[in-house]
Amino acid sequence: MKMKKLAAMALAGTMAAAPAMAELVIPDLSYRTGPYAAGGTPFSDGYQDYFNLLNARDGGIGGEAIRIVECETGYNTEKGVECYESTKGEGALIYQPLSTGITYQLIPKATVDEIPIHTMGYGRTSAANGEVFNWVFNYPANYWDAASVMVNYLLDENGGDLSGKSIALVYHNSAYGKEPIRTLEELSAMHGFELSQLAVDHPGQEQKSQWLQIRRERPDYVLMWGWGVMNQVAVQEAANIGFPMENFIGNWWAGAEHDVTPAGAGADGYKSLNMNRVDASLPVFDEIRTLVHEAGNAAGDGSNMGSVLYTRGMYAAMLASEAIANAQDIHGVTDVTAAMVRDGMASLEITEARMAELGMSQIGPEFSVSCENHGGSGLGIVQQWNAADGQWVALTDYIAPDDSVIDPLIAADSAAFAAENNIEPGCL
Amino acid sequence: MLYREAGDFKTTYVADSQTFPLKLDRIGFWVTMAVAWLVIPFVINDYWASSLLVPFLIYAIAAIGLNILTGYCGQVSLGTGGFMAVGAYACYKLMTSFPDINIMIHIVLAGGITAIVGAAFGLPSLRIKGFYLAVATLAAQFFLVWLFNKVAWFYNYSASGQINAPERLVAGVAVTGPSTPAWAQYLICLFFVTLCALIARNLTRGTIGRSWMAIRDMDIAAEIIGVNPLKAKLTAFAVSSFFVGIAGALFFSVYLGAVEVGEVFGIQKSFLVLFMIIIGGLGSIFGSFAGAAFLVLLPVALKWIGVDVMGWPTDLVAHFQLVIVGALIMFFLIKEPHGLAQLWRLAKEKLRLWPFPY
């Protein structure tokens, strides 16, 4: 009896999960639970809301409805792999794992399964070399770009000379946090600044000793590669030891509203990078409000609209939908496959005219992707937190990274990966 | 009615002391083996392999390992995650240093290296026990994770600090790396599980297992009747770590393929394996399997019911998972402190008297 019931349930389950024909399936490996939920939730809300907007306004992409399959990873690699395996069979077109750890798991798997991965500003930096990583894209910018943009910004502040300065890097002790070290070491040798490294273990609630060390050594600048609860703790600790906040710069995953608000006025002046502009008055938000939220289709509680990470999630969804539309153009069919979406991503071009047309003028830099270069332009802006007004203020225009430093590093790292995995570099 | 020993005559000592004295158990065992070896490899797909069966089999090895130490020898350990990391990193270093040698040998050697490390960390158990030993093994857990994060030699100086399993073949079929077929992944784990379970079962029935149990039940009394505590405790640590090391090596090379030590082999892993043997049943090989199955399959089943069948939001289901698994752990511990293995034993007793149990 029990078995029968179970079997019936299993049957109902497979029937419910069976893909309806001619749908664009987009998995969302989100994390709305655990120590990284504060960042995962707004990103996922923005990602889903934009696809829901396309469904409501345009009937999907090229007339094909979009179906989002959400899977909770908790920022945990094992759950991420389970999510990938359970969603790929539904005809997934593109993965956006929002976790460097999960990205490392998925790069070899997705390459074999021929499903593209878009790791926007995270993941494996050397995936920018499209000849080795045919199925992985990390446009518009990557971690090594971020490190270089930070140093270029500091060079600019110091009249082009950083020699004798000391810079401390506070980083999440994981693949994510360790990514910029190689670039920063290179840059430190080039510009003559002294680099010290302070690792913070997952999840990052315990940082007393690191900030004690900063208090003792008084570095001129502190750079941070943090995520989740680690950011809030670091900003609070920096405020506690009285570190000058304007000399404390986080990367683009350490610069959202929820990272700075817990420290109150103490966080005023904290700086971070951003790869997209934050502007709550963009016309696209009005459309989402009327067509998605008021229709009752909001992902999450709808409270994150316009925040840094919501905007970035929406930006990621826009890049994905543009790539799908591009793939539909190239192949002349609307019901595209994952391999076609890859082609669409590899020849993607984002222009200001197109962004304005989509109601998100200037949200990101203009860039184009090619078979060889999956990394985009690598530009980033520096923004500063204004605690009194409770908003991020962009201090600079898009700053370019130093490609002469990064390109050889990418070539070396991707060559090592290719040798390790017997990959013959080349375009698909 | 069922499970009755009447008519199941034994005429030799060998027959009398076999692992499964009841005929029905023996049939059940061989049917399970036949299904596991001859049916599942032909029907398995990627999802079943990497979401359910492979983690279940690997956790079963780890649970057998910890059960030997905690369940049979009575030494509480919170260092399982750290010892799994030793197995994983040993396997990685061996795989990359000697690429021409068969991966199966590397996995066994990784177990051996973990056994040495485990025995070294087992030395304090000669002087301290109970909670104090738990704290000492906890130190091992944190030390080992820190070590693998700090010393770049262990991860071959890679920029991200991750270790990645290169592709390795067994009999011409890839068993590690991304192009591994699901059945190969499953079979290599099944091979090691079968081997480990057989070794563990026979060790625990012999002299050495009896000396472990004597130490567990009362160490002073055991010493008086001639059990050498040094030998018993250190062998328990070594054998236990051997299995845990094999589990760690498989976890890294076959299951995940890329590992970040702090996340994958952190303290949660130690607790997870400890929960497995507590729920499954301390001092029982079957209990190790039952506990591993319970904690691997239950979250996936709950997620499937919540998200795919009921259509609830994923975060709600993730929170419910924690609540339900936690509540079930408490329920089992209150209702049956000896775990699922004891439930199974009771069920057998009842079945024996069926249809008139009392």
pLDDT at position B331, please?
87
pLDDT confidence band for B204 (50 / 70 / 90): very high
CA distance B171 to chain A (A): 20
The answer to which of A274-288, B82-96, B105-119 has the lowest mean pLDDT is A274-288
Is A100:A79 a contact under the CB 8 Å cutoff?
A: no
Residue B324 covered by a domain: no
Intervals of CATH 3.40.50.2300 along chain A: 23-141+280-377, 143-274+380-403
Contact B167 A422 (CB under 8 A): yes
Q: Given strand A271-274, what is the order of strands in its sheet?
A: A194-200, A166-172, A221-225, A248-250, A271-274, A381-386, A391-394
- A40: Cβ contacts below 8 Å, ≥ 6 apart: A30, A31, A32, A75, A98
Rounded distance, CA B46 to CA B35, Å?
18
Alpha-carbon gap: A36 to the closest alpha carbon of chain B (Å)? 13
Instruction: Report the CATH number of the A23-141+280-377 domain.
Output: 3.40.50.2300
Residues B241 and B222: their CA atoms lie apart, in Å, by 23
pTM recorded for the entire structure: 0.90
Which residues make Cβ contacts (< 8 Å) with residue B134, sequence separation at least 6? B76, B77, B78
Q: Is the dihedral of CA B316, B54, A10, B332 positive or negative?
A: negative
- The answer to whether A86 contacts B47, with C-beta atoms less than 8 Å apart, is yes
Closest Cβ opposite residue B178 in set A100, A109, A179: A109
To the nearest whole angstrom, how far is the Cα of A13 from the nearest Cα of chain B?
Answer: 6
Choose, out of A15, A83, A102, A174, the residue to mutate when testing the contact with B (most B CBs < 10 Å).
Answer: A174
Q: How far apart are CA A116 and CA A94, in angstroms?
A: 5
The stretches of chain B forming alpha helices (DSSP H) are 13-16, 23-34, 40-43, 46-47, 54-66, 80-97, 103-122, 131-150, 182-205, 207-217, 219-224, 229-250, 261-264, 267-280, 285-303, 314-335, 339-353
* Residue B147 resides in a domain: yes
CA–CA separation, A50 and A292 (whole Å): 9
Domain A143-274+380-403 CATH class label: alpha beta
Return the exposure string of A126-143: e unless at least 16 CB atoms fall within 10 Å of the residue's CB, then b: bbbbbbbbbbbbbbbbbb
Question: Closest to B160 (Cβ–Cβ): which among A111, A179, A420?
Answer: A179
A347's tokens: 């020849």
Interface contact flag, A85 B47, Cβ < 8 Å = yes
Rg of chain B on CA atoms, in Å: 21
Return the structure tokens found at A374.
């999956």
**Out of B51, B177, B317, closest to residue A82 by CB:** B51
B-chain CB neighbours of A101 within 8 Å are 260, 263
Query: Which chain B positions have a beta carbon within 8 Å of A15's beta carbon?
Result: none
Kindly determine whether residue A202 and residue B161, on different chains, have CB atoms separated by under 8 Å. no
Is residue A65 helix, strand or coil?
coil
Residue B166 lies in a domain: yes
- Look at residues B188, B151, B154 and name the one whose alpha carbon lies nearest to residue B170: B188
Written as one letter, the residue type at A102 is I
Count how many domains chain B has: 1
Nearest-10 Cα torsion for A168, A170, A176, A182: 10
**Strand-pair partners of A200:** A172
pLDDT tens-place values along chain A, 428 residues long: 344 444 444 444 444 444 445 689 999 999 999 889 999 999 999 999 999 999 999 999 999 999 999 999 989 888 898 899 889 988 999 999 999 889 988 998 899 899 999 999 898 888 999 999 999 999 889 999 999 999 999 999 999 899 999 999 999 988 889 889 989 999 999 999 999 999 998 888 899 999 999 999 999 999 999 999 999 999 999 999 999 999 999 999 999 999 999 999 999 999 999 999 888 889 999 999 999 999 988 888 888 898 999 999 999 999 999 999 999 999 999 999 999 999 999 999 999 999 999 999 989 999 999 988 999 888 999 999 999 999 999 999 999 999 999 999 999 989 988 887 888 888 87
Cα–Cα separations (whole angstroms), residue A266 to A223, A270, A388, A393? 18, 9, 10, 17
Domain around B258: 21-266
CA distance B308 to chain A (A): 6
A98 contacts A29 by C-beta, under 8 angstroms: yes
